[in-house]
């Protein structure tokens, strides 16, 4: 496992950068070593759960980091219920992706259909396949913002787990970070994210547990779809997300430290 230097009391050596009190799944996407031995820049791209419970200390921390752009993957309904977030001085870009799985499970539950962990896992895998098939336009726009150097930038959804997790996987993959490290970064949610008890619904416990976790099978379903339906990662990045060779080279140039590590 590659580890990264951090000056925080992070619970895991891969959880880089400052920690926030009101956004437990906030972390730097930088610090990972790419396949050519260079390191992804720190302090440029951050990922998080929703930003509606930030403390004054958190806001001061983000100001010190210079974060001035926010990409919000939450649905319009989620934003209406939880608010746009407390980072009011930043330029906010909304790229709404409706997770839909909660509605599907509740509909089945209320309709008397059995729901359990297996059903939930299958629906979660379908959700990730949908990220690949149905929301390439949102992730293309996300990369356009990164290429425009709208950074330091933080991107998030509600938990910082699924939509954010897939977006982070795309970023790190485009920068040449190994698949193993991409998955390790994805799975850090299970160590970092503190679930709000008030957000837990009345669905069966095993269903709620599955919904509240990052699972390798979910992200694997996305990558398998990229491979089997879109000709592989490089083809998907180029033809679906607009990262053709010049754009990808420019993205790497601004996102990876020049000197070899």
Tokens of 102: 């909660």
For residues 1 and 9, give the distance between their C-alpha atoms in angstroms, rounded to a whole number. 19
Tokens of 216: 């390798």
Looking from the CA of 64 toward its CB, the CA atoms found within 13 Å total 10
Tell me how crowded residue 10 is: count the other CB atoms within 10 A of its CB: 18
Active site includes 157? yes
Pairing of strands 91-94, 27-28: unpaired
- 167 neighbors 142 (Cβ within 8 angstroms): yes
What's the Cα-to-Cα distance from 170 to each of 75, 167, 173, 236, 246, rounded to whole Å? 20, 5, 5, 10, 17
Query: What sign does the CA torsion over 128, 29, 214, 19 have?
Result: negative
- Catalytic residue, candidates 87, 97, 146, 157: 157
DSSP 207-247: HHHHHTS--HHHHHHHHHHHHHHHSSHHHHHHHTT---HHH
What's the Cα-to-Cα distance from 208 to each of 51, 200, 251, rounded to whole Å? 22, 7, 38
Residues with a catalytic annotation lie at 157
């Amino acid at each position: 496992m590659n580890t990264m230097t951090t000056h925080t009391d992070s619970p895991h050596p891969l959880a880089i950068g400052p920690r926030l009190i009101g956004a437990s799944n906030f972390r730097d996407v930088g610090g990972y070593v790419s396949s050519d031995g260079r390191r992804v820049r720190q302090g440029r791209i951050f990922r998080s759960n929703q930003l509606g419970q930030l403390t004054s200390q958190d806001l001061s921390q983000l100001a010190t980091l210079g974060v001035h752009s926010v990409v919000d993957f939450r649905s319009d309904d989620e934003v209406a219920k939880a608010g746009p977030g407390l980072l009011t001085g930043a330029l906010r870009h909304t790229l709404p992706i409706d997770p839909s799985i909660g509605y599907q499970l509740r509909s089945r539950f209320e309709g008397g259909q059995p729901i359990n962990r297996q059903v939930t896992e299958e629906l979660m895998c379908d959700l990730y396949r949908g990220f690949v098939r149905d929301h390439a336009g949102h992730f293309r726009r996300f990369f356009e913002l990164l290429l425009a150097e709208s950074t330091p930038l933080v991107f998030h959804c509600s938990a910082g787990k699924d939509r954010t997790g897939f977006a982070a996987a795309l970023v790190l993959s485009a920068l040449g970070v190994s698949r193993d490290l991409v998955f390790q970064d994805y799975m850090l949610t299970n160590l970092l994210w503190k679930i709000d008890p008030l957000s837990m619904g009345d669905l069966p416990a095993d269903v709620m547990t599955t919904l509240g976790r990052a699972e390798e099978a979910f992200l694997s379903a996305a990558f398998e779809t990229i491979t089997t339906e879109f000709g592989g990662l490089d083809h998907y990045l180029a033809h679906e997300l607009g990262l053709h060779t010049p754009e990808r080279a420019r993205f790497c140039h601004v996102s990876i430290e020049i000197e070899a590590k």
